[in-house]
Structure 1
Amino acid sequence: MAQHLPISRRHVLLGAAAFGVPAVLTGCGSDAPGPASGDGGPGTVTIGSNASDEIPKKTLETVVGGFTQATTKINTVDHNTFQENINRYLRGTPEDVFTWFAGYRMQFFAEQGLAVDISDVWREIGGDYTQAFKDQSTGTDGKQYFVPFTYYPWAVFYRKSLWQEKGYEPPATLDELTALARKMRADGLTPIAFADKDGWPAMGTFDILNMRMNGYDFHVSLMGGKESWTDPRVRQVFDTWRGLMEFHQPAALGRTWQEAGQSLAQKKTGMYLLGMFVAQQFPEADRDDLDFFTFPEINPTYGTDAIDAPIDGYMISAKARNVDGAKALLKHFAQASSQNVATKLDPGMLAASSKADTSGYSALQKRGAELVSQATHIAQFLDRDTRPDFASTVMIPSLQSFVGDPDEIDSLLTSIEKQKANIFR
């Protein structure tokens, strides 16, 4: 499950400066040149990618284009499809390298024998990462299975020019947030942009409310199946969330996160709780107008000490046909120069390598790195901090059910707990 990253504020600043079909993930492929030729031949390294949005897709293609030790072939699949089918994909005919997530989600597949031990790779690249990043790349057996590439914090984003015009100030408490939302509504704005068509965005709202109200340790324990979903503390989270629903963008189940992000960019909504990748939905000319604040305090016992800051990276599938080439590619991803390319092309990402050049970071990226450095506890995100099957088959439909009908809390939590008991045996 998620780990408490042992990161001091300075440590993270130095360390910095979100799914296939049963057999083969079908998507749009692209090739990057190299000295070898052929499709899937001995000189080719294949990559299964969930980077389906325009900016992440271009970023991966550009970074992989700088890899000269072998020909590469990228199989890009819709992000959500990739995530929801990853288990069957890895047991079918996966590519050599695949995009994935740090922490619990990496450990789960390592324990299943579906990933290659890359401890030898880490002996070469380890000096480029803080211990915290290595911890998040390490399986329960003490071996490494993951190479961190980029990460991003979740926060509440807004347009500075709109807030200056209206005289809004970042709230420090839930009461202040509610008062701000009422003022925005009176000003003709939809206070909080919100979307959950894809199932996962609402997880971020649950995460932050649970960590703010009940603390990081309880949240991690709940994600690990060790707490009851019918616990009064969990019910209070949903009750608090229900109280905020009147300020959320309506009809969220029919809206993608991209569309909600565009509403923020167009100044139709006042703020948006999401990952820093929301910057991808802003025209380049408007990105300097994007800022954020960490979700405000609810319970003084925990303050604002915890955030979600997911780490994205790469693993090698156990069925890889070109393990040597795959390891060479992972070393390429670990290079600071590769991550510098990524953070320059993608305004919503931060480099995981401690040797990356952060001097070219935008003001938003610098603020993002600072936010992570100040957090005492860092979670990886709900669907990364728990079992994949629990996240996809229980939590996605459950949270969508809540978003659709926030008044049915007790029966919903009873259902989640019953299903959890069957999965976490």
Structure 2
Amino acid sequence: MDIRLVGKASSRRAVLKGAGAFSALAITGLAAPAVAQSKDLSIISDLGNPEQRDVLQRVAAEFEKKSGAKVVINNMEHEAHKTAIRSYLVVGAPDICIWFSGNRMRAFVQRGLFDDISDLFERENYKDVLGVTTAAVSVGGKQYGLPLGGLLWGMYYRKDVFTEKNWTPPATLSDLMMLGENAKSAGMIPVSMGTKGLWPAAGWFDHMNLRINGLEHHLGLMDGKVPYTDASLKPVFDKWEELIKANMFTPDHTSYAWEPAGAALAQKKAAMMDLAAFIKSAFPAEDRDQIGYAAFPEIVPGMKRYEDYSVNSIHIPKNAKNKELARDFLAHFYQPENLAAYTEAEGSVPPRNDCPPSKDPLVSSAYAQFKTIAGTAQYYDRDTDPDMAQEGLKGFQEFMAKPERRSEILDRLEKTRQRIFK
């Protein structure tokens, strides 16, 4: 088995080589992924969590012994992968890749770039063990991927810090502002934030909009039915701007990815962080039992609780060379014990109802919280058109850095919406 970690700088410079029937994805500075042969299986992943990479490596090694195939895993930096996949699905496709479910998946299905694996669902009776989660990877009644773990987003904090300072997780936005003042008095950042990768700012927007306008409105915006200049969004940005001007977020957050922002929480330099359970990878193993979860604060009294619950997925590209071998690998990877180990490493809720019980209290907490939720979105850049998402991510980051540019930002997003959702 060959596992390659692809660094950020080189992975963005994907070069497509070859002509006619032969093509391969070459990555500057590294050998290109192996060209699929009859007994070779190529996988592209974007796993930043080393524990998840270890599980995938173990499962691949087992599959090699079982099948006699050679498995080549190219692990790309997460943000670089979002760019590279647009090219490699067209030419030089691997046999398997990790991506997102929902609209992000649907965009590639509509372009004919993900393979229909309904036959694998039928063969392995996956619908019986997945239930409603099947919908996350379905388009037109057909399945185009397997759902991986579900991530429930919310406010994370250190239980020992809150106990020591006699703090309580904020139930309302006013509570959050008060906690922020207490955190600043203690020399801490109220809410740790790293927007260098853009998407964390969009998660904050999701929560604000879901708490103020509800799920139907939010999904209407994601589907291009609500203008970004609509009056309904004014209170969202008003409240957000209040938080920004109160210095609730990490200074110079545009310079940091989510990992150092998570480390600030782990190191007791910040009070809270809006993220999902994969935040545990920013904590030393001995401190993970101190991670606490709370729902994002209420803003409009009486608004039902709607949350982001994002589901990653694994796919066979339409242009893969070894589709049958890829199906056999997915069937092996998706065995309850293997899938449970993979989701446990991330802190996500297993999609199969026959997976072994989780030993992770964060997973147990997320599962318990899930029962109290009135409805779910996925996440901004999963729920809307990919091109709209990219502009939205940039706009939200810019707003957090320069809230005085609100009008220009929203006008720009509205023009993008009108162009995309004709």
Q: Contact between 1:128 and 1:355, CA under 8 Å: does it hold in 2?
A: no
Residue in structure 1 matching 2:62, options 62, 66, 82: 66
TM-score under structure 2 length normalisation: 0.89
Residue in structure 1 matching 2:376, options 372, 375, 378: 378
What residue in structure 2 maps to residue 165 of structure 1? 164
Letter in 1 for 2:201: A
CA distance in 2, matches of 1:58, 1:72: 14
SS in 2 for 1:374: coil
CA distance in 2, matches of 1:160, 1:43: 50
Letter in 2 for 1:114: L
Call closer, same or farther: CA 1:377–1:78 in 2, change over 3 Å: same
What residue in structure 2 maps to residue 231 of structure 1? 230
SS in 2 for 1:311: strand
SS in 2 for 1:130: helix
Q: State how many pairs are aligned.
A: 396
Letter in 1 for 2:263: Q
By how many angstroms is 1:357 displaced?
0.7
Q: Contact between 1:97 and 1:320, CA under 8 Å: does it hold in 2?
A: yes
Q: Contact between 2:127 and 2:134, CA under 8 Å: does it hold in 1?
A: no
Call closer, same or farther: CA 1:329–1:187 in 2, change over 3 Å: same
SS in 1 for 2:161: helix
Letter in 1 for 2:178: A
SS in 2 for 1:361: coil
CA distance in 1, matches of 2:102, 2:114: 14
CA distance in 1, matches of 2:226, 2:249: 29
SS in 2 for 1:309: strand
Query: Which structure has more RCO (C-alpha within 8 Å, separation ≥ 6)?
Result: 1
CA distance in 2, matches of 1:86, 1:181: 40
Listed one character per residue, the Cα deviations across residues 120-172 of structure 1 (whole Å, up to 9, x for unaligned) are 11112324533221111101x21100101212111100000000000001121
Q: Give RMSD over aligned pairs.
A: 2.0
By how many angstroms is 1:56 displaced?
3.1
Q: Which moved more, 1:200-209 or 1:77-86?
A: 77-86
CA distance in 2, matches of 1:175, 1:375: 22
5+ residue gaps, structure 2, are 1-10, 17-24
Q: Contact between 1:157 and 1:291, CA under 8 Å: does it hold in 2?
A: yes
TM-score under structure 1 length normalisation: 0.88
By how many angstroms is 1:29 displaced?
8.1
CA distance in 1, matches of 2:26, 2:47: 13
Call closer, same or farther: CA 1:171–1:145 in 2, change over 3 Å: same
CA distance in 1, matches of 2:402, 2:129: 44
Residue in structure 2 matching 1:413, options 389, 410, 414: 410
By how many angstroms is 1:218 displaced?
0.8
By how many angstroms is 1:416 displaced?
0.4
For 1:78-157, list aligned pairs within 5 A: 78-123=77-122, 124-127=124-127, 129-139=129-139, 141-157=140-156
CA distance in 1, matches of 2:381, 2:227: 17
For 1:3-82, list aligned pairs within 5 A: 21=14, 23=16, 24=25, 26=27, 40-67=36-63, 68-69=66-67, 70-82=69-81
CA distance in 2, matches of 1:76, 1:173: 40
Call closer, same or farther: CA 1:293–1:240 in 2, change over 3 Å: same
**4+ runs deviating over 6 angstroms:** 27-31
Letter in 2 for 1:42: S
5+ residue gaps, structure 1, are 1-18, 32-37
Establish whether residue 311 from structure 1 lines up as the match of residue 307 from structure 2: no
Q: Contact between 1:229 and 1:416, CA under 8 Å: does it hold in 2?
A: yes
SS in 1 for 2:233: helix
For 1:353-364, list aligned pairs within 5 A: 353-358=352-357, 360-364=358-362
Q: Contact between 1:25 and 1:75, CA under 8 Å: does it hold in 2?
A: no
CA distance in 2, matches of 1:25, 1:162: 47
CA distance in 2, matches of 1:193, 1:413: 25
